[in-house]
């Protein structure tokens, strides 16, 4: 089983951007954790990051054709603003799990509303990079062959 992880805008700045909120790990470190944990679970993992909404939508729409079984997405700021990403998630047949490093429910008012969560299979937030690993564990349970 193949799992696609999509990281949204500004996550390429992890490790130096507001570490008191997002932690000190870089995106490369998080991607290595995802790959190692996926391997331990017998899941093939691929990680992408983009600051561009259209590119994220293309990845969502093409994931099924590329043989992925599920998608983990951290839409970052697009969580609260992108109807287009929400609609792309709703339009595909693959299960999608939304993740966030911080607990968005405990953040600023404008960050507490997720436009994308309602069309995802579920959401995991507030556990730092472990949120991604919990999503992998969830897919291992959901996608039993």
**Residue 110: pLDDT band with limits 50, 70, 90:** low
Helices (H), 41-82: 53-62
- What would the pLDDT profile of 82-103 be if each residue is shown by its tens digit? 999 999 999 999 999 999 998 7
Give yes or no: 7 in active site: no
Give the pLDDT confidence score for residue 112 in this predicted structure.
Answer: 64
Structure confidence at residue 18 as a pLDDT band (50, 70, 90) = confident
Q: Which of 22, 37, 80, 132 is catalytic?
A: 22
- Please tell me which residue in 7, 37, 52, 100 is annotated as part of the active site: 100
Q: 39-70 b/e with 16+ CB inside 10 Å = b?
A: eebebebbbebbbebeebbebbeebeeeebbb
- Describe the strand order of the beta sheet including 122-125 as a list of residue ranges: 44-49, 2-7, 70-74, 96-100, 122-125
Q: Quick check: is 100 catalytic?
A: yes
Residues sharing a CB contact under 8 Å with residue 82, sequence separation 6 or more, in sequence order: 53, 75, 115, 116
Contact call for residues 98 and 2 (beta carbons, < 8 A): no
Contact 75, 85 (CB under 8 A): yes
Q: Sorting pLDDT into bands at 50, 70 and 90, what band is 144?
A: confident
Q: Is the pLDDT of residue 22 over 80?
A: no
pTM score of the predicted model:
0.92
C-alpha dihedral (113, 100, 145, 87), degrees to nearest 10: 40
pLDDT in tens, 132-141: 999 999 999 9
pLDDT 10s digits, 31-71: 999 999 999 999 999 999 999 999 999 999 999 999 999 99
Pick from 63, 84, 66: nearest CA to 75: 84
- Which CATH number does 2-142 carry? 3.40.50.9100
């Amino acid at each position: 089983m193949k799992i696609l992880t999509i990281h949204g805008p500004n996550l390429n700045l992890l490790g130096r951007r507001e570490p008191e909120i997002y932690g000190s790990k870089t995106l490369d470190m998080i991607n290595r954790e995802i790959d190692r944990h996926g391997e331990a679970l017998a899941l093939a993992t691929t990680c992408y990051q983009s600051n561009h909404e259209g590119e994220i939508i293309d990845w969502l729409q093409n994931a099924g054709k590329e043989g992925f079984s599920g998608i983990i997405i951290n839409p970052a700021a697009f969580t609260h603003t992108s109807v287009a990403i929400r609609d792309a998630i709703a339009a595909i047949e693959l299960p999608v799990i939304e993740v966030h490093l911080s607990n968005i429910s405990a953040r600023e008012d404008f960050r507490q509303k997720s436009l994308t969560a309602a069309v995802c299979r579920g959401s995991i937030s507030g556990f730092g990079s472990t949120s991604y690993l919990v999503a992998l564990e969830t897919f291992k349970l959901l996608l039993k062959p």
